[in-house]
Chain A
Amino acid sequence: MIPAPFSYYRALSVDEALDLAAEHGEEAKFLAGGHSLLPLMKLRLALPEVVIDIGRLADLSHIRDAGDHITLGALTRHHDLEHSGLLARELPLLACAAGQVGDPQIRHRGTIGGSLAHADPASDLPAVVLALDATLVARGPSGTREIAAADFFGGLFETALEPDELLTEIRVPKPAAPRWSFQKFTKRAIDWAIVGVAVQGDAVALVNMGETPLRAAAVERALADGAAPRAAAALAAEGTRASADINATRDYREHLARVLVARGLQEAHARA
C-alpha cells in the first residue's frame, strides 16, 4: 500500500510549521510520529495534498517540572514518557499508560501530541489527560490559546484544534492524591484497548466507551457522595455510548467498564 502523491515540507521551527499550515489550509496535514496518519494515507483514507513534517521540532520534545505542574512537549514520544524518571515520580498514571500504547516500535515513533490531535476514542492517552485535568496549549496564526482537556475532544476524530493550529504543549497539574490506576483490556499485548480505564484520585476516565474519551461522571458523583468503590463502579456504563465492533458488543463493553473501574478503584486505593 502506497500513499497518494503529496508535497512534503519539513518545518524547522514552530513558526515555519504555522506559516506552512496557514498557506495550505485544509489541504495540509501535520506529520508527527506518523503512526496514525501514515496508515490512513496508505489506505488512502487520508489524502492530504501537503504534508508538513514537524518531526524535527526538537523544542517540542521535553518533559519538565514546572512547580505545581508538569509540562510535556507535544512531540514527546510514548517511549520517552514511559521511561521518564520525572513522570514515574509525579505522573505514574501517564508513564504507565504510555508504556502500554501499541508495541515498542510504535512507542518509539508515536507522540503524545499526535495521539491527542488524532482523537481516536480507542487511544489511551486522551482518556489519561482527561483524568488528569490537563490543559492543552495550541499555537495558531492569532497566537497561543489554552484548551482544557474536557473541552478538547469534540467527537469521533474531532478536536477543538483548527487546521492551522499546532498543539505545542500539554500541562498536567501534579495530582493531589497519589491514588492512580490504569486498566487496559486487550486480547494481545499490542492491541488497542477494547475498554480502558484511567483513575487518578477520584477522577475516572474511560477509553473506547463512546465517540470521545469520557469521564465516568456517575462513578465520580457516587464516590463524592461517599459510596463504596464497588457500588460506584457499578455505575460505570451510565452515560456512555460504546460502539459494537468485531471485538465486543456494546453490552460486553459496558460489562468491561464496570469490571475495570472496580479493579481500577481497588488498585488506586491500595496505592494510597
Chain B
Amino acid sequence: MTIVYDDEPDADEIPVRRIRFTINGAKKVAEVEPRLLLAHLIRQGLKLTGTHTGCDTTNCGACTVLVDGKPVKSCTMLAVQVDGHEITTVEGLATASELHPLQEGFKEEHGLQCGFCTPGMMLAAKALLDHNPDPTEEDVRWALSGNLCRCTGYQNIVKSVLWAAEKLRS
C-alpha cells in the first residue's frame, strides 16, 4: 500500500508491518507503516472515500466506522490495530440493488444537507440499531452524541434513525 508522507529527516529506517483485515466483507492484506491511521488506510489506501475526516481530533465523528461491529473514530486508531479485525464503512451498507434502511431513512426524513457528517452518523446509528432495534428518541440522541453536524440541527437525523429502526422492525 503506497501512501506518500513528508520525509522525516530524523527517522532511521521506517519499519513496515503486514496486516490482514476484512473490509465490507472483502479480505485484504496490506503493508503499512505502524503510524498509518485507520482513516488513511481506508481513504487513501483502499480509496473508500465515503469515510470523511473532519476535525482529525476525535471530536466530530465524521470518520466513524465499525470495527467488529463497534463504532470507533478512525482518525484515532492505527491501521495496525485492526489487524485480524473486521471493518464496516458506509460503502458496506447498501447492496447492489437496495439502499440500507438507514440510507433510506436519511433520504425520506431529509436527514442531511451537505452530507459531510452523514456516513459517520449512519455507522454510529447502525451500531445502536444492531443491539437496540426499538430505541427511544433519547437513545438515538445519546448514541449520536459523538457525531457533530454543522447543517441540520439534528432533528431530522434523529427522525431518520427512528424511521430506519421502524423499517428494520417491520
Say whether A and B bind each other.
yes
- The distance in angstroms between the C-alpha atoms of A10 and B58, with both chains bound, is 23
Residue in contact with A5 in the complex, picked from B11, B57, B61, B142, CB distance below 8 Å: B11
Chain A, 94-137, CB within 8 A of any chain B CB: 102-106, 108-109
**Residue A53 interfacial (CB < 8 Å):** yes
* B11→A4 contact, CB < 8 A: yes
Number of interface residues of B (CB under 8 A): 34
Q: A2-B35, A7-B34 are in contact. Are A38 and B146 (CB under 8 A)?
A: no
* A109→B77 contact, CB < 8 A: yes
User: Which of B22-30, B68-76, B94-102, B104-112 binds A?
Assistant: B68-76
- The distance in angstroms between the C-alpha atoms of A253 and B17, with both chains bound, is 47
Q: A6-B35, A7-B34, A38-B78 are in contact. Are A108 and B11 (CB under 8 A)?
A: no
* B11→A104 contact, CB < 8 A: no
* A7→B72 contact, CB < 8 A: no
Tell me which residues across on chain B come within 8 A of A250, comparing CB atoms.
none
Tell me which residues across on chain A come within 8 A of B78, comparing CB atoms.
8, 31, 34, 38
- The distance in angstroms between the C-alpha atoms of A186 and B62, with both chains bound, is 22
Residue in contact with A6 in the complex, picked from B34, B73, B76, B142, CB distance below 8 Å: B34
Tell me which residues across on chain A come within 8 A of B35, comparing CB atoms.
2-6, 41
**Residue B37 interfacial (CB < 8 Å):** yes
* B64→A105 contact, CB < 8 A: yes
List 29 interface pairs A-B (beta carbons < 8 Å), by A numbering.
A2-B5, A2-B35, A5-B8, A5-B15, A5-B34, A6-B35, A7-B15, A8-B15, A8-B17, A8-B34, A10-B83, A31-B81, A34-B76, A34-B77, A34-B78, A34-B81, A35-B58, A35-B76, A38-B76, A39-B57, A41-B35, A42-B57, A103-B145, A104-B143, A105-B73, A108-B70, A109-B73, A189-B145, A190-B59
Number of interface residues of A (CB under 8 A): 29
Chain A nearest CB from B68 CB (Å) reads 10
How many A-B contacts are there with CB distance less than 8 Å? 85
Q: Return the 7 tightest CB-CB contacts between A and B, nearest first.
A: A103-B146, A8-B34, A5-B11, A189-B145, A3-B35, A105-B146, A108-B70
Chain A nearest CB from B40 CB (Å) reads 8
Chain A interface, DSSP helix/strand/loop, else mixed: mixed
- The distance in angstroms between the C-alpha atoms of A39 and B37, with both chains bound, is 11
Taking Cβ atoms with an 8 Å cutoff, the residues of B that contact A are 5, 8, 11, 14-15, 17, 33-35, 37, 40, 56-59, 61, 64, 70-73, 76-78, 80-81, 83, 124, 127, 142-143, 145-147
- The distance in angstroms between the C-alpha atoms of A258 and B34, with both chains bound, is 46
* B80→A8 contact, CB < 8 A: yes
* A39→B58 contact, CB < 8 A: yes
Chain A nearest CB from B104 CB (Å) reads 23
Taking Cβ atoms with an 8 Å cutoff, the residues of A that contact B are 1-8, 10, 31, 34-35, 38-39, 41-42, 51, 53, 55, 79, 102-106, 108-109, 189-190
* B33→A5 contact, CB < 8 A: yes
Chain B nearest CB from A75 CB (Å) reads 13
